[in-house]
């Protein structure tokens, strides 16, 4: 099992540019989560999908952020236009079930720097 | 709302010392509780979990007991190793109105010196 795969590992972009982060969940997992981690705010849940359908996007900071899950094996998180305050590590995680007893498996993250 | 409070770090210990990282929570209903560990440059890994009161989760010498009466889930290890140096996150998971969330504490950085 290759685990949750995120790409790219690092991304440096200029303010105003579009950024797309990618995630491949573990095969068979039916829930997918996008988190953002910063020193100031810790870990924040941005959005999650269940069976490819967005269930809760209340953590998405603003309209510049969007996420899609076109199929069970792929998800993207897009920021357009990017701003320096978006600099953070973005994690994708997947889970087998939706009940509380299931933990999440996290990817290694994408470190985004907006200059 | 649901929240997790864990002890502020950083925590610095010598090898073979006893470790306790405190975690308390506020939640509606009966959450499941988790400890995750994050090694430098990596994502979070599930360390252990407990799904109901009085359950004890354990893994790699770490233990935590779900205490409903004190709303706590403290992480302990009897003898830490240098390789345990990492950031530890306490978390809870509930389902509210069909929207499940894994809520994390702010993390506690542990450094173990040889």
B4-37 confidence digits (pLDDT tens): 999 888 999 999 999 999 999 998 878 899 999 9
CB pairs < 8 Å spanning A and B: 56
Query: Across the interface, do B98 and A108 touch by the CB < 8 Å criterion?
Result: no
Chain B partners within 8 Å of A9 (Cβ)? none
Strand-pair category, B23-26 with B3-6: antiparallel
Rounded distance between C-alpha atoms, residue A70 and residue A97, angstroms: 19
% of chain B residues with pLDDT over 70 = 95
pLDDT tens digits along A46-60: 999 999 999 889 899
Residue closest to A31 by CA, chosen among A111, A103, A110: A103
Spatial separation of the C-alpha atoms in residues B31 and B41, rounded to whole Å: 29
The reported pLDDT for the residue numbered B103 is 86
Instruction: Using the predicted structure, report yes or no on whether residue B97 has a pLDDT greater than 70.
Output: no
Give me the mean pLDDT over the A3-22 stretch. 97
Which of B3, B9, B43, B46 to probe by mutation at the A interface, max A CB count within 10 Å? B43
Mean pLDDT of chain A: 92
pLDDT confidence bin for B94, thresholds 50/70/90 = confident
A58 CB neighbours in chain B (<8 A) are 99
What value does the mean pLDDT of chain B take? Answer: 91
Instruction: Show residues of chain A in contact with B42, CB under 8 Å.
Output: 108-109
Q: Select the more confidently predicted residue: A98 or B23.
A: B23
Whether B42 and chain A come into contact, CB under 8 Å, resolves to yes
Q: Which residues of B touch A93 (CB under 8 A)?
A: 43-44
Does the beta-carbon distance from A55 to B32 stay under 8 Å?
no
Three-class secondary structure of residue B22 per DSSP? coil
CA atoms within 13 A on the CB side of A61: 16
A38-89 pLDDT, tens digit per residue, is 988 888 899 999 999 998 898 998 899 999 999 999 999 999 999 999 999 9
Distance of CA B4 to the CA centre of its chain: 10
In this prediction, residue A73 carries a pLDDT of 95
Bridge partners for B96 per DSSP? B99
- Least confident segment among A6-10, A34-38, A54-58, B76-80: A54-58
Q: A101–B32: do the CB atoms touch at under 8 Å? A: yes
Using pLDDT thresholds of 50, 70 and 90, give the confidence band for residue A101.
low
Q: Is B59 on the interface with A (CB under 8 A)?
A: no
- Report how far residue A87's alpha carbon sits from residue A95's, in angstroms, rounded to the nearest whole number: 26
Calculate mean pLDDT across residues B49-67: 95
| Mean pLDDT score, A77-105 | 88
């Amino acid at each position: 099992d290759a685990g949750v795969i995120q790409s790219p590992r690092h991304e440096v972009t200029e303010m105003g540019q579009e950024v797309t982060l990618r995630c491949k969940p573990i095969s068979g997992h039916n829930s997918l989560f996008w988190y953002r981690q910063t020193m100031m705010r810790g870990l924040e849940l941005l959005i999650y999908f269940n069976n490819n359908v967005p269930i809760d996007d209340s953590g998405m900071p603003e309209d510049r952020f969007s996420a899609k899950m076109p199929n069970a094996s792929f998800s993207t998180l897009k920021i357009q236009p990017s701003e320096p305050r978006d600099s953070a590590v973005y994690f994708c995680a997947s889970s087998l079930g939706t009940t509380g007893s299931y933990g999440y498996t996290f990817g290694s993250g994408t470190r985004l720097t907006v200059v | 709302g649901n929240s997790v409070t864990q002890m502020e770090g950083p925590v610095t210990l010598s090898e073979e010392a006893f470790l306790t990282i405190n975690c308390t929570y506020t939640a509606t209903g009966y959450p499941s509780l988790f400890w995750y560990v994050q090694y430098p440059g990596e994502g979070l890994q599930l360390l252990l979990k407990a799904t109901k009161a009085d359950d004890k989760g354990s893994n790699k010498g770490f233990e935590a007991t779900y205490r409903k009466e004190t709303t706590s889930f403290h992480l302990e290890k009897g003898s830490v190793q240098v390789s345990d140096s990492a950031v530890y996150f306490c978390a809870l998971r509930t389902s509210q109105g069909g929207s499940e969330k894994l809520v994390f504490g702010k993390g506690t950085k542990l450094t173990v010196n040889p």
